Amino acid sequence: MKVLVSDPLSEQGLTKLNEHFTVDVLTGLSEEELVEKIPDYEALVIRSGTQVTRKVIEAADKMKIIGRAGVGVDNIDVEAATEKGIIVVNAPEGNMLSAAEHTVAMMLALSRNIPQANSSLKSKKWERKKFMGVEVNGKTLGVIGLGRIGAEVAKRAQGLEMDILAYDPFISEERAKELGVKLMSVQEIAKEADFITVHTPLTKETRNIIDKEEFDMMKDNARIINCARGGIINEEALAEALKNGKIAGAAVDVFVNEPPFDSPLLECENLIATPHLGASTQEAQINVAVSVADEVISVLRGGSAKNA
């Protein structure tokens, strides 16, 4: 049987797949190229780069499983896959700690202007006054989405002595208590938090969950972090809030269009950004690749999938 890997996958995952199947690694394919090649394969393994559209799925006549080496399946037309009887699996746990650590790194970098100060010093300037920061100690962090990653972020932020507010319609008061967080609506968090971080998947319900209306409610010194998915926070509204000083700053790892070279966000001085690096650690990439390889092996041998 043949497996197509169409985004870079760690060696450990490829080795596992190679022990059982013929594996082709073909990255950077256009939709047309993918449509042309896909009929030959029983499995497709991707990260966030490949867009698995309905057109691609309709051409995938032998396909049994699509494996996403990561959490978000928003780059797969899951409905089309289900209609065609193709199992879609992800790797929900392998990169959660890396994503949580990146979020905390972004929050601290944002609060102390580290990227801007680094660039300034490297251009031979000594601007100590310009980069006055704020402490996170004693501040309130609003976590929108208290799933696996959101809960890990909350735990780490509590270690930094922050108070945590959270919005998550799927979390019970009991679980919130256990995590030491106070549940609130998005609007209440917008009004009260000093820092806000989003950790939901991108769905119809969460798209633009933070929009102009919420920015208008925020404190002037609020700081926003998005290491989850582009589109959860409305990018135009965020750019506007940053430009007119409605909020103090933002740290963004993910964008509606990636790479985001036309995004108004990149023009904002009080925005720090990374190129979708939340899961980019050696540990996370091994974890997700091995997890997805195991799922593909199981399904192609007639077994079941754990994370379908």
Please report, as ranges, the residues that interact with ligand MLT according to CB under 6 A.
Answer: 47-48, 70-72, 95, 278-279
258 carries an active-site annotation: yes
First-to-last CA distance in the chain? 21
Min dist CB 95 to ligand MLT, Å, is: 5
Q: 101 near 282, Cβ under 8 Å?
A: no
Annotated active-site residue in 68, 152, 229, 235: 229
Which of residues 181 and 305 has its CB atom nearest to ligand MLT in the complex? 305
**Least distance in angstroms from the C-beta of 72 to ligand MLT:** 3
Q: Is 93 a catalytic residue?
A: no
Q: Shortest distance, CB of residue 172 to ligand MLT, whole angstroms?
A: 25
Residue with smallest beta-carbon separation from ligand MLT: 70
User: Do the beta carbons of residue 91 and residue 288 sit within 8 Å?
Assistant: yes
3-class DSSP state for residue 181?
coil
Nearer to ligand MLT, 246 or 276 (CB): 276
Q: Which of 102, 152, 276, 295 is catalytic?
A: 276
Single-letter amino acid, residue 125: K
CB of 145 or CB of 248, closer to ligand MLT: 145
Identify the three-state secondary structure at position 2.
strand
> Closest separation between CB of residue 173 and ligand MLT, Å?
29
**Count of beta carbons in the 10 Å neighbourhood of residue 220:** 8
Using the minimum distance from each CB to ligand MLT, give the nearer residue, 179 or 279: 279
Nearer to ligand MLT by Cβ, of 148 and 219: the residue is 148
DSSP letter at 249? E
Token representation of residue 220: 């002037």
* Burial class of residue 185, CB neighbours in 10 A (0-12, 13-18, 19+): exposed
Of these residues, 161, 258, 267, 283, which one is catalytic?
258
Residues in contact with 201: Cβ distance below 8 Å, sequence separation at least 6, in sequence order:
71, 72, 74, 145, 228, 229
Q: What angle do CA 13, 14, 16 make, to 5 degrees?
A: 65
Report which secondary-structure segment, H or E, holds 223.
strand 223-226
Structure tokens of 158? 């509590």
- Whether 229 is catalytic is yes
Taking the complex as a whole, the smallest distance from the CB of residue 143 to ligand MLT amounts, in Å, to 17
**Residues known to be catalytic:** 229, 258, 276
